[in-house]
Amino acid sequence: MSNITKATTREELAALVTQALRKEGLDPVLVGGAVVSIYTDNKYESRDLDFIVSASSDVVNEVMKKMGFKKSGKNFYHPKSEFTVEFPMGPLAIGDQEPVKPEGELKIKRTTIKLLSPTQSVMDRLAWFFYSNDRQCLDQALWISKAHPVDLKKVEAWAKREGQEEKFHIFLGSLR
């Protein structure tokens, strides 16, 4: 029922999933590694798309099934796609900050995908660095910051609220 092929890009798949969910009255937000891939032009390449959506899993499962996806564990797989789709538990949050209103958009043909802005995506990646010492996520935050305008004052204020000034300064020092 969908137009998914082996050539379907990450962005096109995100648009198709967004369209299908919106037809059911849902308002998905793309988060996580896929957003990093988009903002870094695949310097970091994620093979999954994470959407936050406020709906019962039954509704999401039915939409994905209609699109030709099969569920295994927490992931949805499509036989013609190299990408998986996952729906992490909401609400949309960055560190201890919730709820978060997504400030980014990506237009693919006639579909506008809601996603974290570059600044929010940097904060999301830094949250993983702050709380899990994930150095790969620190690198991703740096790549986004070098590829897109990022409001560093906003990131710093957020890091202070998170009690993570020291690790924020590691990020800032690596950025310069």
Last residue of a domain, one of 83, 115, 147: 115
Query: How many domains does one find in the chain?
Result: 2
| pLDDT classification of 176: cutoffs 50, 70, 90 | confident
Q: State the CATH number of the domain containing residue 100.
A: 3.30.460.10
Asked if pLDDT for residue 28 goes beyond 80, the answer is yes
Query: By the 8 A CB rule, do 54 and 27 touch?
Result: yes
Crossing angle for the helix pair 118-132 and 165-175, to the nearest 10 degrees:
120
Asked if pLDDT for residue 1 goes beyond 90, the answer is no
Beta bridge partners of 112: 107
Query: By the 8 A CB rule, do 122 and 94 touch?
Result: no
Query: By the 8 A CB rule, do 78 and 72 touch?
Result: no
Asked if pLDDT for residue 138 goes beyond 90, the answer is yes
Average pLDDT over the chain, rounded to whole?
95
Residue 4 lies in a domain: no
The dihedral formed by the CA atoms of 168, 99, 116 and 78, expressed in degrees to the nearest 10: 120
Query: pLDDT per residue over 39-79, tens digit each?
Result: 999 999 999 999 999 878 899 999 999 999 999 999 999 99
In a shared domain, residues 88 and 155: no
In a shared domain, residues 153 and 129: yes
Last residue of a domain, one of 115, 149, 167: 115
Render the burial of 109-143: b for 16+ CB within 10 Å, e for the rest. Answer: eebebbbbbbbbbbbbbbbbbbeeeeeebbbbbbb
Residue 108 lies in a domain: yes
Residue 55 lies in a domain: yes
In a shared domain, residues 48 and 104: yes
Residues whose CB falls within 8 Å of the CB of residue 23, separated by 6 or more in sequence, listed in order: 63
Token pair listed for 48: 């999954």
135: containing domain: 118-175
In a shared domain, residues 96 and 74: yes
In a shared domain, residues 146 and 129: yes
pTM, rounded to two decimals:
0.94
In a shared domain, residues 43 and 93: yes
Residue 99 lies in a domain: yes
Last residue of a domain, one of 115, 132, 148: 115
Residue 1 lies in a domain: no
In a shared domain, residues 41 and 76: yes
Residue 129 lies in a domain: yes
Query: By the 8 A CB rule, do 131 and 123 touch?
Result: no
Query: By the 8 A CB rule, do 46 and 32 touch?
Result: yes
